[in-house]
Structure 1
Amino acid sequence: MSSAEDKADRESVDGLRRRHPLARGIELLTLMTDSDRDVHGVRELAGRLDVSPSTAHRLIADLEKLGLVSRTANGSYRLGLEYLRLAWTTTERYPIQEVSRDTLQELTEQSGESSFFAVYGEQRLQMMFTLVVESSHPLRYTLPMRQQIPLHAGASGLAILAFLPAQIQDRIARGPLRAATDRTLVEPQGLFDRLAMIRRDGYAITHGERIDGAIAIASPVFGPAGSVVGSAGISMPEARFNAAHSSSLAGLVKQSARQITDYLTGARDPRTGIVRR
């Protein structure tokens, strides 16, 4: 995608946000949800939304009337009970985290390694880990939960990137690509070749490309429309990795990713785990 197209996309998003209070309100809730802070000030939110404090205050006031945000005793704001009710209700109706946890638990038991589920963020073209089942080994890597992470460094992101539309791959590959370690692939053509291999094999395996000394294997997870929505996989210290077992580990990872895909697409009942005919 050209720089002119990138600029046009940004201007389109910015124009939508300025014209539609609903879009700005949703963006405000997204900022509060993604933040690692519990409370927020009006000026802080205004700065992050790139709007005036008065505009931010009007948005917050409307959301407060709906119960989606609430005001604290010192005048700051936090997510409201109505927002939490909606989130909890949605989780109960679509228990993907619960069934994904069961799948990851089984993957950890079978592989002996920590397993994870990562979600693709279409707006930022990044991913985040939303679920991890730790292995029982005393030596293991702790994954950064609910943090935006680039797609090009690490098996979890590469497994997603390989199945995104070609124009998105091109946009990301032509960077700039930041090196997380000295093993991170930051050369565009090398990245394109790597993605083609992942599409062929159905999984990605990396050696210290996001974290020094860590190995990860990941496979894509697809949603109801057939587009990639995330990845599932395992991570382990390089010292514990046996290359002779890589194929069997990759098979376990691909099986788990397919199972989560079945839950998301409705091919498998999320409450019983039974494949629907």
Structure 2
Amino acid sequence: MGTITKAIEMLNYFSHRRPEIGLSEFVRLIGRDKATVHRHLSELERNGFLEQHPVTRAYRLGPAILRLSGVRETTHPLRSVVRPIVTELAQEVGELVHFSLLQGQTLSPVFHADPKMHGTQVHFDEAELLPLHATASGLALLAFAPKKLTDRVLAGPLERFTESTITDPDILRDLMEKVRETGCSKLEQGFDNEVSSHGAPIFGPDGELLGALSIAVPHVRMNPEKSAAIREALKRGVMKITRSIGGNIPPRHAGKWGTDA
């Protein structure tokens, strides 16, 4: 892992639950020596990717993140495009819906909506990268991903997040085959013991795989009727997002989620 990668990787430790991180905590999280961690933090701060709290001296995301985020959304709008679709879908099914983009061998959340219609809700952190093998959205993406990416992910290591996380490559390949047939995935308690989810892939203008749309439900509330309703809603969501971003579903997969994407 190169020096630049090691430094940038540190940004992924920030989340809604961990908005500020001190030097000592970074050392503990990353497992590198204090001098190296401090050097990387100083470089990130010097370039505006981090800033320090004036009192606690803990690090938080800096102004460069905002500037680059604004450039991305202005030149390649996505969050603003999917926001109304995801929000409408969440209201329709009464459950949390999220859209994520492929980032290396993970999914990076872009936007989520939760109508909060029930007492029991799914906790979702948009700053948390989602593993491809342990989430419904990840499995949906793997099912339609190029063989090179699939082989690389399944070659491991495949982290176990719960007792139900599937880490056997052969079982995952069987599940992927079923997803390719139906267009939608389902995983129960693979990433979170209390959550069951369905997912489906999203394709871009050239038919390239961009990411995935997913609906997450507290496991105690999942049943066959809700599962069937979620699958139908998910397919409608896939078509709406595909049309809105100017995407094209590859001809070999036409009809799995609807028609005339």
The equivalent residue for 1:100 is 82
How far 1:182 moved relative to its partner? 3.1
Corresponding pairs, count: 243
AA at the equivalent of 1:85: R
Q: How does 1:52-67 map to 2 (within 5 A)?
A: 64=46
Unaligned runs of 5+ residues in structure 1 are 1-13, 19-23, 268-276
Query: Could you say if the C-alpha distance between residues 182 and 87 of structure 1 is closer, same or farther in structure 2, counting changes exceeding 3 Å?
Result: closer
Q: What amino acid does structure 2 have at the position aligned with 1:116?
A: H
Amino acid at match of 1:262: R
Distance between the aligned counterparts of 1:86 and 1:58, measured in 2?
A: 20
Whether 2:107 is the aligned partner of 1:127: answer yes
Matching of residue 110 in structure 1 with residue 89 in structure 2: no
The code of the aligned residue for 1:254 comes to K
In the TM superposition, what is the alpha-carbon distance from 1:31 to its structure 2 partner? 3.3
In structure 2, the partner of 1:8 is none
Sequence identity of aligned pairs in percent? 24
Superposition pairs of residues 192-271 of structure 1, within 5 angstroms = 192-265=173-246
What's the counterpart of residue 152 of structure 2?
A: 171
Given the alignment, which residue of 66, 72, 77 partners 1:84? 66
Q: Which secondary structure state, in structure 2, belongs to the residue aligned with residue 255 of structure 1?
A: helix
Give distance in 1, aligned partners of 2:67 and 2:229: 42
Alignment CA distance shift 1:58-1:203 (3 Å)? closer
Amino acid at match of 2:98: F
Kindly indicate whether the alpha-carbon contact (under 8 Å) linking 2:185 and 2:198 is maintained by their aligned counterparts in 1.
Answer: yes
Does the 8 A contact of 1:129 with 1:143 survive in 2? Answer: no
User: How many Å apart are 1:83 and its aligned residue?
Assistant: 4.6
The residue type equivalent to 1:247 in the other structure is: A
Question: Per the alignment, do residues 246 and 28 of structure 1 end up closer, same or farther by CA in structure 2, a change over 3 Å counting?
Answer: same
Q: After superposing the two structures, state which structure 1 stretch, 85-94 or 212-221, moved more.
A: 85-94
Alignment of structure 1 residues 31-42 onto 2, 5 Å: 31-32=10-11, 35=14, 36-38=18-20
Q: Unmatched 5+ residue regions in structure 2?
A: 249-260
Q: Could you state the TM-score of these two structures normalised by the residue count of structure 2?
A: 0.73
In structure 2, C-alpha distance between the alignment counterparts of 1:130 and 1:59, rounded to whole Å: 25
2:252 aligned residue: none
Conserved 8 A contact 2:207-2:247: no
Find out whether 1:157 has 2:138 as its counterpart: yes
